[in-house]
Amino acid sequence: MSAQTSKSRRFGRIESRDLTQAAVFAGLLAALGLPGTLTIGPSGVPITLQTLGVMLAGSILGPRKGALAIALFATLAIAGLPILAGGRTGLVALASPTAGFFVGWFPAVIVIGLLTALMMPRYRVVWGIGINIVGGMVVIYLFGTAGLMLRTDLSWWAALSTNGIYIPGDIAKAVLCGFVAAQVHRARPGLITPWRTARTHD
């Protein structure tokens, strides 16, 4: 296989199958927002199921298709559809102190997707859970903390510490995603191109 063909596999034009899979996960993200939000603590950061959708998109679709799914969802939300948890639109979310958490979805899905591709072709649940914690928690928390600092008068430590109350629930999401992704990859191998395989053919 030529280098050009290999690069096309990783960075080439979007195929209809890729778009369909991304659209399915964008719809899943919207569905996970239907139960609404639960706000605990003084930060105003809502607890939602949609971060589970971000983890699933990266773990199952990989970096390129996962990022496409988040981009499709964000475009619809910013266009005015109330598909964020609690019936919010993207513009409302971006205007709030919690905007950083929404913005963090995109780098989070890329980190999860890239690390998962490194692990493939065999998906290991324990490694998958760790990857979900790094991408779905650490990355999103960092962006969310930065957003809180920019939009409020909280110090760095005060903004960071507001995430503590959400850690148990997000760990549960990371664990659930790890087991779901393992089952999906066992039933549908090939959804993510292993990074080592792509590199071999460069």
Q: What is the pLDDT of residues 117-142, one digit of tens each?
A: 999 999 999 999 999 999 999 999 99
3-state secondary structure the chain: CCHHHHHHHHHCCCCHHHHHHHHHHHHHHHHHCCCCCEECCCCCCEECCHHHHHHHHHHHHHHHHHHHHHHHHHHHHHCCCCCECCCECHHHHHHCCCHHHHHCHHHHHHHHHHHHHHHCCCCCHHHHHHHHHHHHHHHHHHHHHHHHHHHCCCCHHHHHHHHHHHHHHHHHHHHHHHHHHHHHHHHCCCCCCCHHHHHHCC
- pLDDT above 50 (res 6): no
Taken in order of first residue, the domains within the chain and their CATH numbers are: 12-196 (1.10.1760.20)
Model's pTM, two decimal places? 0.85
